[in-house]
Amino acid sequence: MRTDAIPVDPLPLTAEQAESMLQRQVKKHHIAIILLHWFNAIVWFFELLTGLALISSPLFRVAPRWYISIVDGVFGTRANMLQFHVALGLLWIGVYLVYAIFGFRTYLSKEVIRNEIALDLDDYRWLVVRTRRILGLTREALPPQGIYNAGQKLFAFMVYAMIPLVMVTGVVMAFRLFGTQVVGWAVVLHFCAVGAVVCGLLVHVYMGAVFPEEKPAFFSMITGTVNELYAYRHHFKWWTVIKAEEQAWNQQHANEAVAPAETARPGSSSADREPGCPG
Amino acid sequence: MARYAMVTDLRKCVACQACTVACNAEWDVPAGYARTRVRTTPITGTFPHLASSIYVAQCNQCDRPPCVEACPSGATSQHDNGIVGVDKSLCIGCGFCLEACPYDARYINPATKKVDKCDFCVSRLERGAEPACVITCTAHAKYFGDLEDRQSDVFKMVYAHGARRLETSTIRVGPNVYYAGEHASTDLVLAAFPPRPPRLLAAGQAWSRVLRPLVLAAAGATFLGQAVAFFNQLRNGEKDFED
Amino acid sequence: MDNNVSRRQFLGTIAAAGAGTAAAATVASAQSHPPGWSGTQRVEKIATTCEMCFWRCGVLASVADGKVIRLEGNPDHPLTKGRLCARGNAGTRLLYDPDRLKYPLLRTGKRGDGQFKRISWNEALDFLASKLKALAAEHGPESVAFFPHGLSARFFSTLMKAYGTPNSAEPSFAQCRGPREVGYTLTFGRELGSPEPLDLEESKLIVLIGSHLGENVFTSQITAFATALSRGAKVIAVDPRFSIAASKADWWLPIRPGTDIALLLAWMHVLIGEDLCDKEYIARYAQGFKELEAHVREFTPEWAAAITELPAAQIRETARAMGTAKPAVLVHPGRHVTWYGDDTQRARAMAILTALLGSWGRKGGIFLPTPIPRGAFELPDFPESPRGRADGAGTRFPLASEELGVTNGLVDATVTAQPYPIKAWIVYGQNVLESIPEPQKTRKAIEALDLMVVVDVLPVEQINYADLVLPEATYLERYDSPSIVTTAKQPFVSVRQPACEPLYESKPGWWIAREMARRMGLEAWFPWHTPEEHLAQIIAPMEISAEELRNRGALAFPGRPYLDDQASDAESPVRTGSGKIELYSQELKDLGADPLPRYTPVEDPPAGYFRLIYGRSPVHSFARTQNNEALNALMPDNEVWLSTRSAKDLGLRDGERVTLENTDGVKSLPVRVKVTEGIRRDCVYLVHGFGQGSKGLHLAFRRGASDNALMTHVKVDPLMGGTGMRGTFVRPVKDPTAH
């Protein structure tokens, strides 16, 4: 876009505009987030693999018996399986604690919550339209979204709520804390929380890995960036913010011909923010 | 294969508690808890026509153990010889098995917070020794053996002499601790210490009745939803991004 | 800057990973092991003899790295054959009881305050030796009274005899078996001894007079009883309380307390009157039948029914059952039989009944002991005391055992200074405040002493009154004189050898006695230097190998238990003066007592009071085990049995707390009420040994109620000094301190 004005609504682009946007990369995810994401994915993969095999009795089982036998075989003894599950779980908690201690201001600031988790009117409408589109009931255009769309926000919210529950109940079970009533409930809540996340994961993994429109999103979890066209099309409101910051930055540098100065960096996503850095 | 069982002869037992103390010593059971208990039934009748009996209780290594079903981690499992074992390294102390046992045969060790119970002294059996309670019994009232061995004492006592199981019309989990003696004696024991219906902690009930179906349904629905979306995607050719 | 941030996050991740793995490792390694055993140490089994009670069963101690980790029965023991009761299995908790006496203690405060200072053994033994020498010089050695009990006290007994005091008494006579030993000796010329020679397993009918075998546990006797039951033996249980034995009995006779002699006489009446006695046996072995027949003619079942409150028909029926099952009828002589002060006569009645049924010396009845040769040392004669004994044995109590003594006689002598002053008590393995009734007298006696010495394992209440306390090693830590048992169908010798080193500064009895002997110039009576040497001498004439004995724990010899086994040229198995079973006792007549037993009524409880009867629990031994962690867990306190009707009348509910108040106004500690149909309305029942007053016994202190503390009056048997302890009357008072 050549004009100074940043559009309020996403307008159709010319082929050239689209092409140039396609070539430009915009930073979406900080390396710390990327690492945490894949760490989480690997941990959840192995924890689900072992967890589903650990719950073996008829009253509690969710996985089929043949699956449990296979995993039993892999680990040799069920005790090994449990030890692995607990050890990995504790490691997972440990890493999260580090992130929490060092980065809670960054990851849970009011602004982050407002932009990345809280739902606004566009989000609610998006949810309705998206569902109808998935079911093939409409071809209506989706309302503009911020850095994460409503579905992603819901997923994040659910995961933020469930993960502490999984962690706490896991620790209660692993260390047999507070007596049998508490441990008994911990068992059940652990399974339910995990179940909820699995439901979300089914969508999340599909969207990330299978759904072709979101391919740039998948790669952004590796490179940390998305192309600008994708941002424009799928996360318009975020794109406007980036654009505004870009323009501001350009203006500042245009004004300051000679004097070098510490300036705010382009991009305003939390991923780019140093912990504690104002701005 | 074997099917281990125990028979207590109530005519001979005098409730001397040698077995309980020997068991506690053998397995370091903390004071106040027990793998095996010996209790006298309350005296019934009116003076001087009175009766009482003795209940020697321990895990019955049942044919159809409700505890095995209830254990989420599989710590409790039944071996081929009938003994129901507790793998301490898998036990999370949730207590579902305690609630499930109709004979209240289990306890949670307050120090380790894990479940413990009689396992017919399986590690002693492996060295060729009999269970500690059996060899110390001052009245020689306890018998241990393999019900599938026709020459064993327990076989004869159960199948030839009618040693009884403690079962009611509603609770028939196939306990493998039998009681020899007059019917009147075992009747007294059943009346005073009847097996109770297996219970699940409220949490377990919630899971098996409500939450598990809910979770599976939700996962199933989500998966279905995804399948429909994928199907539509294929059918409608959802635009690839680059278009 | 971006890279710095991500590097910091990286390092954080690595650190977290490390912490996670460490946590996982701790989770994985949480295994539980028996204390002191890692599961990999070598375990040695040492055969020895139990002393948690006085049955002395064979026990195998599993020892790993010097710690006793487990006790089991010794399968090689000829009597107990590998079985071990609750107390035997709990022996490690005595060994490792943190409340044990650890060091010699010397009193610092007032007697009774329990203030001590720790001293060395040298100081302690020097102190005692000098005190004893001074007492001998000033008041004569007979001014020292000795109260022993248990195998380990035998060494100190020798010392005391060498010292020159004739005053030694253990409670097993005047508070326990005395009357039956005297009664059976008068009748058969032999005492019964311990373990009593009862052929239970071969018996067809077992008669229990007050015996609550089953709650009173002697390992081999339980085995034999159970065997008899499984072979179809019938049981007659005569007991005011519905005991475990009564629950297995074919006849339960809830007899009015104190009237057993009437029942026995009526039984004799039926047996003789209906020609059900073993006439051949009586003709061959007994005398005095005619006198007996005349004597019991008036004692009909109807007469007895009125006295005993038992139906006459039942008395007849049970007599006939005995007559039919003879001679394999076991009239159990009981063990603790000091009940009403006429107990020698009741024992006589039971002995006579046994003779009438022909069961003495016969299968299924009372069998004969087989002697075993026992080695001895050449010792100088013990000095004779010119003033004689002070306890009345042989004088005031003409039939009392001079070997075992009369404890209450010594207490009386101390209080009254008659026949001469007693200035010192040495209490060795006896718990005088718990075992001797009329404890108020015992306390008074102790206050009069110049010296009180206690040798014990646990800090029982009496140590508070001691000037000197010596910590003895437990049975698992010491050698003792071997246990030689002739009253078994296969007589045997059983060794006691240490399974581990004595803990703290506790010492075995042989060491204490030898060290004292050295200090007092009495080494001549201790010619051996090690306990192994002592053992070797004792077993020398038995022609067995000491090594084999130590490895197996016990060795048996062939037995000749029945009359038919006795060699025809041997002396008569009946050891009375006449060589015959004396149904009629001339000896008693000569002493001015009834030559044939007579029923004399005992005092009845006043209105509102109940007779206090007491007994044993299978998990406790007297007052010795209440502090044992394993046994305390099964029975931390006792409860008082009260009949349903009485409870209703008094408005007492099951489990409610009461104190028991006796007719002297002495109150017990609070105790729970057990409301039951299983006891007569005129009595209440307590298990003995609770309500202990020693703060040093943390688990036992003030738990339950003490029966002994309530026994402020006893009736003493004039023939042998036994203290009849069932004449205490109490009433339950609602405990105002209970919630």
pLDDT tens string A40-93: 999 999 999 999 999 888 888 889 989 999 998 999 888 889 999 999 999 999
pLDDT recorded at residue A24 = 83
Query: Are residues B220 and B156 located together in one domain of the fold?
Result: no
pLDDT of C591 above 50: yes
Listed residue (C685, C679, C687) closest to C636, CA to CA: C687
Q: Range(s) for CATH 2.40.40.20 in chain C?
A: 610-734
Phi and psi at residue B241, in whole multiples of 5°? -60, -45
- What does the alpha-carbon distance between residue C391 and residue C42 come to, in Å, rounded to a whole number? 52
pLDDT recorded at residue A259 = 54
Query: Are residues B186 and B240 located together in one domain of the fold?
Result: no
Give how far the C-alpha of residue B198 lies from the chain's centroid of Cα atoms, to the nearest Å. Answer: 10
In chain B, DSSP finds a helix count (H) and a strand count (E) of: 9, 11
Report the share of chain A in percent with pLDDT over 90.
26
Give the distance from residue B226's alpha carbon to the nearest chain A alpha carbon, in angstroms.
Answer: 7
C90 touches chain B (CB under 8 A): yes
Say which residues have a Cβ less than 8 Å from residue A69's Cβ, sequence separation at least 6. none
Residue in C closest to A175 by C-alpha: C27
Can you spell out the DSSP letters for A58-75?
A: TTT--S-HHHHHHHHHHH
CB contact under 8 A, B233 and A211: yes
Segment among B10-14, C4-8, C48-52, C158-162 with least mean pLDDT = C4-8
Residue where the block lists tokens 């022909």: C358
Looking at the 3D structure of chain B, how many domains does it have?
A: 2
Query: Are residues B60 and B156 located together in one domain of the fold?
Result: yes
C84 touches chain B (CB under 8 A): yes
A14-30+109-255+263-272 maps to which CATH number?
1.20.950.20
Chains contacting B (3 or more CB pairs within 8 Å): A, C
pLDDT recorded at residue C67 = 94
Structure tokens at C306: 């009125």
Conformational region of residue B17, where left means phi above 0, alpha means psi within -120 to 50, and beta covers everything else: left
Report the share of chain B in percent with pLDDT over 90.
74
H helix runs in chain A, sequence order: 15-23, 31-54, 65-75, 78-107, 110-112, 121-134, 150-174, 179-205, 215-223, 228-234, 236-255
Contacts of B136 in chain C (CB under 8 A): 72-73, 82-85, 89
B237 touches chain A (CB under 8 A): no
- B-C Cβ pairs (cutoff 8 Å, strict): 144
**∠A207-A37-A244 over CA atoms, to 5°?**
75
DSSP state of C6: H
Q: What is the pLDDT of residues A202-212, one digit of tens each?
A: 888 888 887 77
Q: How confident is the model at residue A279 (pLDDT cuts 50, 70, 90)?
A: very low
Listed residue (A110, A204, A197, A220) closest to A152, CA to CA: A204
Which B residues 183-222 touch A at CB under 8 Å? 200-204, 206-208, 211-212, 215-216, 218-219, 222
pLDDT of A13 above 80: no
Q: Range(s) for CATH 2.20.25.90 in chain C?
A: 44-95
CB contact under 8 A, A98 and C28: no
Looking at domain C184-368, which CATH architecture does it have?
Answer: 3-Layer(aba) Sandwich (3.40)
For every residue of C505-554, which 3-state class applies, written as one string? CCECHHHHHHHHHHHHCCHHHCCCCCHHHHHHHHHHHHCCCHHHHHHHCE
Query: Which pTM value belongs to this model?
Result: 0.88
A143 touches chain B (CB under 8 A): no
Identity of the residue in C230, C244, C643 whose CB atom sits nearest the CB atom of B14: C244
Query: Are residues B165 and B237 located together in one domain of the fold?
Result: no
C176 touches chain B (CB under 8 A): no
Q: How confident is the model at residue C13 (pLDDT cuts 50, 70, 90)?
A: low
CATH topology of domain C44-95: N-terminal domain of TfIIb (2.20.25)
C343 compared with A207, residue with greater pLDDT: C343
Identity of the residue in A56, A183, A192 whose CB atom sits nearest the CB atom of B94: A183
- What does the alpha-carbon distance between residue C79 and residue C66 come to, in Å, rounded to a whole number? 28
Enter the ipTM.
Answer: 0.92
Give the distance from residue A92's alpha carbon to the nearest chain B alpha carbon, in angstroms.
Answer: 20
Structure tokens at C97: 């009881």
CB contact under 8 A, A98 and C9: yes
Residue in B closest to C89 by C-alpha: B22
pLDDT average, residue stretch C8-35: 45
Structure tokens at A79: 């005790």
pLDDT average, residue stretch C362-377: 95
Q: What is the pLDDT of residues C402-418, one digit of tens each?
A: 999 999 999 999 999 99
A140 touches chain C (CB under 8 A): no
Say which residues have a Cβ less than 8 Å from residue C646's Cβ, sequence separation at least 6. C610, C681
- What does the alpha-carbon distance between residue C83 and residue C71 come to, in Å, rounded to a whole number? 11
pLDDT average, residue stretch C223-246: 97
CATH value of C610-734 in 2.40.40.20, 2.60.120.10, 3.90.480.20, 3.40.640.10: 2.40.40.20
Q: What is the mean pLDDT of chain B?
A: 92
Contacts of A54 in chain B (CB under 8 A): 72-74
Q: What is the pLDDT of residues A227-260, one digit of tens each?
A: 888 888 888 888 888 888 888 888 888 877 655 5
A137 touches chain B (CB under 8 A): no
Segment among A153-157, C144-148, C312-316 with least mean pLDDT = A153-157
Structure tokens at C291: 């006198």
B233 touches chain A (CB under 8 A): yes
**∠B82-B87-B92 over CA atoms, to 5°?**
130
Say which residues have a Cβ less than 8 Å from residue C545's Cβ, sequence separation at least 6. none
pLDDT of B25 above 70: yes
Q: What is the pLDDT of residues B140-196, one digit of tens each?
A: 999 999 999 999 999 999 999 999 999 999 999 999 999 999 999 999 999 999 999
Whole domain around residue B29: which residue ranges? 4-192
Contacts of C1 in chain A (CB under 8 A): 274
Q: What is the pLDDT of residues A163-187, one digit of tens each?
A: 999 999 999 999 888 988 898 899 9
Which B residues 108-137 touch A at CB under 8 Å? 108, 113-114
Q: How confident is the model at residue A194 (pLDDT cuts 50, 70, 90)?
A: very high
B242 touches chain A (CB under 8 A): yes
Widest pairwise Cα distance in chain A: 75
pLDDT average, residue stretch C86-114: 95
pLDDT of C84 above 70: yes
A17 touches chain B (CB under 8 A): no
Give the distance from residue C637's alpha carbon to the nearest chain A alpha carbon, in angstroms.
Answer: 29
Q: What is the mean pLDDT of chain A?
A: 83
Query: Are residues B17 and B48 located together in one domain of the fold?
Result: yes
Q: What is the pLDDT of residues A15-37, one digit of tens each?
A: 887 788 888 888 888 888 889 99
Chains contacting C (3 or more CB pairs within 8 Å): A, B
* Type of residue at C295: H
Which C residues 194-223 touch B at CB under 8 Å? 213-215, 217, 219, 222-223
Q: What is the pLDDT of residues C265-289, one digit of tens each?
A: 999 999 999 999 999 999 999 999 9
- What does the alpha-carbon distance between residue C77 and residue A207 come to, in Å, rounded to a whole number? 79
- What does the alpha-carbon distance between residue C393 and residue A45 come to, in Å, rounded to a whole number? 89
Identity of the residue in B74, B215, B223 whose CB atom sits nearest the CB atom of A192: B215
Report the share of chain A in percent with pLDDT over 70.
90
pLDDT recorded at residue C25 = 39
Q: What is the mean pLDDT of chain C?
A: 93
pLDDT recorded at residue C37 = 56
pLDDT of C501 above 80: yes
Which C residues 2-41 touch A at CB under 8 Å? 2, 5-6, 8-10, 12-13, 15-17, 19-21, 23-25, 27-28
pLDDT recorded at residue C29 = 32
Give how far the C-alpha of residue A15 lies from the chain's centroid of Cα atoms, to the nearest Å. Answer: 31
A148 touches chain C (CB under 8 A): no
Q: What is the pLDDT of residues B32-72, one digit of tens each?
A: 999 999 999 999 999 999 999 999 999 999 999 999 989 98
A65 touches chain B (CB under 8 A): no
Edge to edge, what strands does the sheet with C554-556 contain? Answer: C483-485, C492-494, C554-556
Give the distance from residue B173's alpha carbon to the nearest chain A alpha carbon, in angstroms.
Answer: 16
